[in-house]
Amino acid sequence: MPPGVVITSASQPTITCYYSLLPKPTRFSGHQTIEDTKLSETGKRYYIMKTNALIIFSLLGAATASAQGFKADFANGKFPAGITVEDCDGFEVPSLCYKNGRTSDGWTVATVGTGTYAAVSPSHSHDEGGQNNRMNIEEVTVEEGAVISWTARSVFSDFPDTYRIEALVEGSEKPVTVFKGRAEEVFTPHAVTLEKYAGKKVRFSFVCTSENGYLLAIKDIFIGVPEKPVLSLVDKTRRFSGNGENVEVTGTVFNSGLETTVEKVVLKVSSKEVASKTINETVKSAESFDFAIDLPVELNKKTKYTVEIIGSDGSVLASASSAAIASHFERNHFVDEGTGVWCNNCPEGMLALQQLKRDYPDQIVIATDHANDDLTNSDYWSGLKFFAVPYFMLNRRDDTKYSQTTNFENGLWRPTPVKIDLAKDEENVNVTVTTSEDIDNSNDRYRIGYVITGDFYQTEDDAAYMQKNSCNMPRHEAYYFLPNILPAHLSKYHNVNLDGEGYFDGIPNSIPADIAPGEATESFVIPCDGLEANEVWSNLRINAYVLDTTNGEILNSASIRLDEPAPEPEIPDLPDGPDGPDGPDGPDGPDSVNEVSASSTPLLRISGRDLLLSGSEETFVEIFYADGQRVAAGNFHERTVVPESVSGPVIIRATSRNATSVIKAAF
């Protein structure tokens, strides 16, 4: 079935919302729009008109401003003294789109996650243009060695938020931007050095600049000279590695505190050191470094380990614990998710899947299967034999079926004897299978199956695509803030099962009768000509897998995208001018090289005039001269070339969805 065609079925089984007493799916009648929810001139309507009023909060909450700097953590649920907020755009924030977190003042304080208070800025609006919601911090005198540090996140990952930090120096009429970025989907620490402002009185402002975002969250604000190192460790190790005696443990360490010396990185198993790597580097505030160290493992056996960052005095500056396994081949797990637009509790299942994707980045292949709604693929759904939603199954193993992903643990560490690779040309996706041992497939036991999935986003507020939501606790993350019925324009449905072949029994004779170990065998061709994105379908993928037909288990899977991702929107900035983005003091000038975060990773390397980009996702590359003039920019995959017209010292900034790297070079 080509994308854009809605699959429906007149005879679907009755599927109940898990933990719910609903005897049958609840449906909505009529065509509800946001405009229909506005009430009369009495002022009792579902829109809150923002104002430009300056709301001053004094003697509320905990904040300190002293020689040690300004601190604000919002821990008691209120704005601390020294912070004021204002809304300077006048855009409407529809109350229909918020159950919690809405305000007409630009910013408020709310619980984000379990027991975590943060300043939040609602940013979802139908008005065109970026927000200008300002959280202003009282004037401080910047000392030598001072930094500004904070932690930020986009609460609703489907609608990411952008923001900037401005500095208004005493005597200046216009602020300058000291940081701009896109907040990630988890709280991430950041820091920027304030060397250029030493000795000056400065007023800093956090400005939500999102255009059609949802909710920006900021906490742990500090301005001053750090008293101690504050190191954050992000472990980026692939949990399922290929054949070998070692697993490469990789990560990024970021310092948002006092300058410190890192002596080494240590790996421990059962509290015993098994490997180490000497670093012996000074890590300044707002700087990061990457590491890679081999973990000795036993083939096909899960190994739990701890990474420790050791200081020059032998103290542990940061640590993280996880696990990894080396199999004959890397493994991508296939997850079936059962859900429904009508299901009140399905958002809680969506959160479980989001966490699984964070725990196993790039190693989870998903087919989201809708029950009894307009996104249902009835042939696939009937084969799943799910009796409720939300529901999950890992690699088609019956012992993993459950309303959460808690039954996945053992299956996530099962080794695999096969590898499947996909390669796309203009008309087809070619499937290649490799095995670790001799396989007699003369009885056609092993077969290929595949599913075509896509992301569905309907901007019109059609009642058929309005997700129900009964998540009312802060632990429910974004769904705590989202309304009990999400308007369709807030309901993005990911990995929706569209079509495919050999769903559960595989395609006969799709794998050769004999496969020699270690030899890649082209076994099947999947036609993809004509599968194109449109106004409602994007992120089209072919997800193929190797089936063992004796028990229906998926031994390994792979996924390949058929359409190009949309470019990330530019982050709004100050107007052009002496302090604007192209001016010598602007955010795109040489002082922007300190834009670093805990998740930063070296996205690029230089070889001659070639810029080599790490990872497979699209990366936005910008090149600036030292005076701040931007001379080249564009979105690229893997590699690009610096234009011959660029010569002399430059600053190169690479920005992907999850990280930013800035380096200096000369051509």
10 Å CB burial of residue 235 (0-12, 13-18, 19+) is middle
Reported in sequence order, the residue ranges of 436-575 that DSSP labels E, i.e. its strands, are 439-440, 446-457, 492-501, 514-515, 521-527, 537-548, 553-561
Contact 280, 264 (CB under 8 A): yes
Give the residue from 652, 619, 564, 597 showing the smallest Cα distance to 150: 597
Region of poorest pLDDT, from 51-60, 88-97, 204-213, 637-646: 51-60
The per-residue pLDDT for 241 is: 86
Contact 660, 653 (CB under 8 A): yes
Indicate the SS3 state at residue 286: coil
Indicate the SS3 state at residue 264: strand
Direct distance between the N- and C-terminal alpha carbons of the chain, in angstroms, rounded to an integer: 51
Contact 543, 558 (CB under 8 A): yes
* Averaged pLDDT for residues 493-497: 97
The per-residue pLDDT for 348 is: 94
The per-residue pLDDT for 17 is: 53
The per-residue pLDDT for 544 is: 97
* Averaged pLDDT for residues 220-247: 91
* Averaged pLDDT for residues 383-411: 94
Confidence of residue 126 (pLDDT cuts 50, 70, 90): confident
pLDDT higher at 523 or 549: 549
Indicate the SS3 state at residue 224: strand
Number of other residues whose CB lies within 10 A of the CB of residue 518 = 11
Please name every residue paired with 161 in a beta bridge, in sequence order, or none if there are none. Answer: none
Give the residue from 217, 216, 212, 218 showing the smallest Cα distance to 490: 212
In angstroms, the Cα distances linking 17 to 339, 374, 463, 537 are 9, 16, 18, 26
pLDDT higher at 20 or 89: 89
Confidence of residue 327 (pLDDT cuts 50, 70, 90): confident
* Averaged pLDDT for residues 635-654: 80
In angstroms, the Cα distances linking 576 to 170, 316, 573 are 21, 46, 9
The per-residue pLDDT for 566 is: 74
The per-residue pLDDT for 34 is: 28
- Polymer length in residues for the chain: 667
**Strand order of the sheet with strand 287-296?**
231-235, 246-255, 287-296
The per-residue pLDDT for 603 is: 64
* Averaged pLDDT for residues 150-173: 95
Residue 233 has pLDDT above 90, yes or no: yes
In angstroms, the Cα distances linking 326 to 160, 171, 249, 300, 424 are 35, 61, 12, 6, 28
The per-residue pLDDT for 615 is: 61
**pTM more than 0.85:** no
Amino acid at 240: F
Distance CA 482, CA 329 (A): 41
Q: pLDDT by residue (tens digit) across 447-462?
A: 999 999 999 998 888 9
Distance CA 389, CA 20 (A): 10
The per-residue pLDDT for 600 is: 38
* Averaged pLDDT for residues 516-540: 85
Residue 582 has pLDDT above 50, yes or no: no
The position carrying tokens 């529901």 is: 391
**Share in percent of the chain as helix, strand, coil (round to 5):** 10, 45, 50
Cis peptide before 390 (omega within 30 of 0): yes
Confidence of residue 652 (pLDDT cuts 50, 70, 90): confident
Distance CA 152, CA 665 (A): 30
The per-residue pLDDT for 627 is: 63
Confidence of residue 142 (pLDDT cuts 50, 70, 90): very high
Confidence of residue 54 (pLDDT cuts 50, 70, 90): very low
The per-residue pLDDT for 579 is: 36
Residue 57 has pLDDT above 60, yes or no: no
Region of poorest pLDDT, from 64-78, 122-136, 377-391, 483-497: 64-78
Confidence of residue 598 (pLDDT cuts 50, 70, 90): very low
* Averaged pLDDT for residues 539-556: 96
pLDDT higher at 552 or 596: 552
Distance CA 71, CA 76 (A): 14
Residue 195 has pLDDT above 60, yes or no: yes
Distance CA 362, CA 126 (A): 33
Across the chain, mean pLDDT equals 83
The per-residue pLDDT for 574 is: 55
Token pair recorded at residue 129:
């243009």
Indicate the SS3 state at residue 508: coil
The CA angle 79-80-84, to the nearest 5 degrees, is 65
* Averaged pLDDT for residues 3-32: 35
Contact 474, 480 (CB under 8 A): yes
* Averaged pLDDT for residues 638-664: 77
The position carrying tokens 């990773």 is: 601
* Averaged pLDDT for residues 324-341: 94
Residues contacting 437, CB < 8 A, separation 6+? 417, 517
pLDDT higher at 666 or 275: 275
Token pair recorded at residue 153:
């996140």
Residue 583 has pLDDT above 80, yes or no: no
